[in-house]
A and B are shown apart, each in its own frame.
Chain A
Amino acid sequence: MKKNKQTLLAVALGVAVSAAVQADQRVLNVYQWSDYVAPDTISNFEKQTGIKVIFDVYDSNEVLEAKLLSGRSGYDIVVPSNPFLAKQIKAGVYQKLDKSQLPQWDNLNKDLLRTLEVSDAGNQYSIPYMWGSIGIGYNVEKVKAALGGQEIDSWDVIFKPENIKKLHECGVAILDSPTEIIPTAMHYLGLPTDSENPEHIKQAEALLLSIRPYVTYFHSSKYISDLASGNICVAVGYSGDLYQSKSRAEEAKNKIKLAYKIPQEGAGTFFDMIAIPKDAKNVKEAHEFVNYLLAPQVMADLTNYLQFSNANDQATPLVDEVIRTDPGIYPPAELMGKLYTFADFSAKTQRLLTRSWTKIKSGK
């Protein structure tokens, strides 16, 4: 709801701005996640091309999808995460990218592109924007005290009741996202993460129910501020958000030291993909924007600012060394091999997952 209000406001502002734009002015309507560009990303593009960007934000894939599926969203660029993109491609929401207008296409990492074919066969409709993992962010001191000196390096900390019990005192948050957390539990159990077998979902449900009493809350963004302020000490969340939390704690100088780990068993990754809706009005401008985002320097600036990884090979040397060498953002090859992407589940499995999740959260 909070999301919707923000979006409404943004849309209202967007309409007001677009009315003010002159008729001959080239424009581009971008619908993007909140807090997901560097301060100069948009202004530099406007300076380079003379295109006026009208920028609206959302903070959940579901809100974006509801808008796209109602038809006529009015946007030229949207940035869904990959399992959502897959569904939306099937629903016929997007148009194919014209690669002749994207001369910088070859900067993209070929291995990642191949992985992404699960959701977009032949990489016809989208390019990867940023990617990150779902791992564990924690308060170094408090966790050390609670676990008796043991470091966090495995999902055991979360999924073994005897461990998470000790952390319960200082607070544990988990993402409120059935399609990401249930596969994470399945991965821990050694089950295939894209399994649609109801038996496997039941097993993951049982595991999550066993740790349920020790989870303070399930939420997809509250942990950013709670971790930074010390309200909780462990969060299973999105890497970029947890790094943001870390920076906030450093800025607040409240002596809270946070860290992010991709556990040794591996973790799920999400890719946010740039795509052009079928009914976009400014298709040429949209391609110019996509090509702009393929430039190594632009991508490196984004990674430096957002602390999310990008999929641009040429950008890596331009990324700050602290970030480039951080295993939480640029995982070493061995860990990289243990990462997996979240599947695009069938409607039936989706319903099972949501139902399971309600049971895990409310016991009903």
Chain B
Amino acid sequence: MKKLGNKLLGLLPKGRHAVIGVPFFWMLLFFLLPFAIIIKISFAEADIAIPPYTSLTEWADNQLTVLLNFGNYVLLSEDGLYLAAYLGSLKIAFFSTLLCLLVGYPMAYAIARSDKQMRPVWLLLVMMPTWTALLIRVYAWMGILSNNGLLNNTLMWLGIVNEPVQILNTNIAVYIGIVYAYLPFMVLPLYANLVKHDLSLLEAASDLGAKSITAFWKITLPLSKSGIIAGCMLVFIPVVGEFVIPELLGGPETLMIGKVLWQEFFNNRDWPVASSLAVIMLLLLIIPIVLFNRNQARELEGK
């Protein structure tokens, strides 16, 4: 019995391979497999059935027929709406990332240069909001930004404006919501980078007569490049597919791919077209993801 057990154990991959195998298996099961299913659905046709699309393969008379329908992709290229929605998402993601960087960099810098004992407290304050569900925080913003809300009432009370300013249900509200929600994802990688900087480099610069602002541009900023890239990717990639924030805070002029995908899936009952939209979105996102990975690899190699 013991021998058999040992034999079976011998069949299992050993040491190194097992360790590497676990994450690969994880990716296979939870990323590649679902994605393969989505690709499969994107080549089907919508149907009134359970599930609501046709099957790709048919087995009859000992013949296997595979039917790939490219109609969904053709449809996406024919209507300007889809391109407009992709561009809308990319635009919102780009500017939100930029805003996150502008707000997040000084924050991360200040934390990294603050008293060592205070750093965990500041970091905790950055992360604390994420302990509450995103949905609740977005609803809180609805309360703040609405025409009868906190912000408008304060502005009117101060006499700055006479009529409420329409912020909720506009793109401005979407930017506020996204920058607020994704700021921690920008601050944390930046902090992790900035805190490792060797301050003696700055001292050397100062000894050589550089002003602190010059030292920042010539030393700190270039050194923090990988932190900036990591933060930007962590914000940009999820914002492209964001659905909740634009749905709740945005208005009718907010056209993003997440909403169009929802409409295809739910309003049009067209799972195949929704799947092809998702496939194309993933292809679009692969470019920044590859850049991100290359940068990470370089970082690990210490270059």
Taking beta carbons and an 8 Å cutoff, which residues of A are in contact with B?
1-2, 5, 60, 62-63, 65-66, 68-71, 87, 90-93, 178-179, 216-218, 229-231, 347, 350-351, 354-355, 358, 361-364
Contact status of A347 and B50, CB under 8 A, knowing A2-B135, A358-B81: no
Query: Is the Cβ of B253 less than 8 Å from the Cβ of A354?
Result: no
Least CB distance from A364 to B in Å reads 5
Least CB distance from B246 to A in Å reads 10
- Which residues of the partner chain B approach A347 to less than 8 Å between Cβ atoms? 46, 48, 268-270
- Which residues of the partner chain A approach B255 to less than 8 Å between Cβ atoms? 358, 362, 364
Least CB distance from A35 to B in Å reads 18
Least CB distance from B290 to A in Å reads 29
> Contact string, B254-267, partner A, CB cutoff 8 A, digits 1/0?
11000010010111
Query: Is the Cβ of A91 less than 8 Å from the Cβ of B263?
Result: no
Least CB distance from A296 to B in Å reads 36
- Which residues of the partner chain A approach B270 to less than 8 Å between Cβ atoms? 347, 351
B147 CB-CB contact with A under 8 Å: yes
Contact status of A71 and B266, CB under 8 A, knowing A1-B243, A361-B252: no
B97 CB-CB contact with A under 8 Å: no
Bin chain B's interface residue count.
Answer: 20 to 34
- Which residues of the partner chain A approach B269 to less than 8 Å between Cβ atoms? 65, 69, 87, 347, 350
Least CB distance from A348 to B in Å reads 10
- Which residues of the partner chain A approach B84 to less than 8 Å between Cβ atoms? 364
State A178–B253 Cα separation when bound (angstroms). 17
A352 nearest in chain B by CB position: B268
Taking beta carbons and an 8 Å cutoff, which residues of B are in contact with A?
46, 48-52, 79-81, 84, 133, 135, 146-148, 169, 243-244, 247-248, 251-255, 260, 263, 265-270
- Which residues of the partner chain A approach B135 to less than 8 Å between Cβ atoms? 1-2, 5
- Which residues of the partner chain A approach B251 to less than 8 Å between Cβ atoms? 217
State A218–B80 Cα separation when bound (angstroms). 23
State A107–B129 Cα separation when bound (angstroms). 55
Query: Is the Cβ of A91 less than 8 Å from the Cβ of B50?
Result: yes
Contact status of A92 and B49, CB under 8 A, knowing A1-B247, A87-B269, A362-B255: yes
Given contacts A66-B265, A179-B267, A354-B263, could you give 4 more A-B pairs where the C-beta distance is less than 8 Å? A2-B135, A2-B248, A231-B146, A363-B253
- Which residues of the partner chain B approach A92 to less than 8 Å between Cβ atoms? 49-50
Contact status of A230 and B268, CB under 8 A, knowing A69-B50, A71-B51, A358-B81: no
Query: Is the Cβ of A231 less than 8 Å from the Cβ of B266?
Result: no
Contact status of A91 and B48, CB under 8 A, knowing A1-B135, A350-B267, A354-B267: yes
Least CB distance from A37 to B in Å reads 25
Least CB distance from B26 to A in Å reads 23
- Which residues of the partner chain B approach A351 to less than 8 Å between Cβ atoms? 268, 270
- Which residues of the partner chain A approach B244 to less than 8 Å between Cβ atoms? 1-2
- Which residues of the partner chain A approach B260 to less than 8 Å between Cβ atoms? 358
Contact with B253, one of A66, A70, A216, A362 (Cβ below 8 angstroms): A362
State A179–B133 Cα separation when bound (angstroms). 33
Contact status of A355 and B79, CB under 8 A, knowing A5-B135, A87-B269, A92-B50: yes
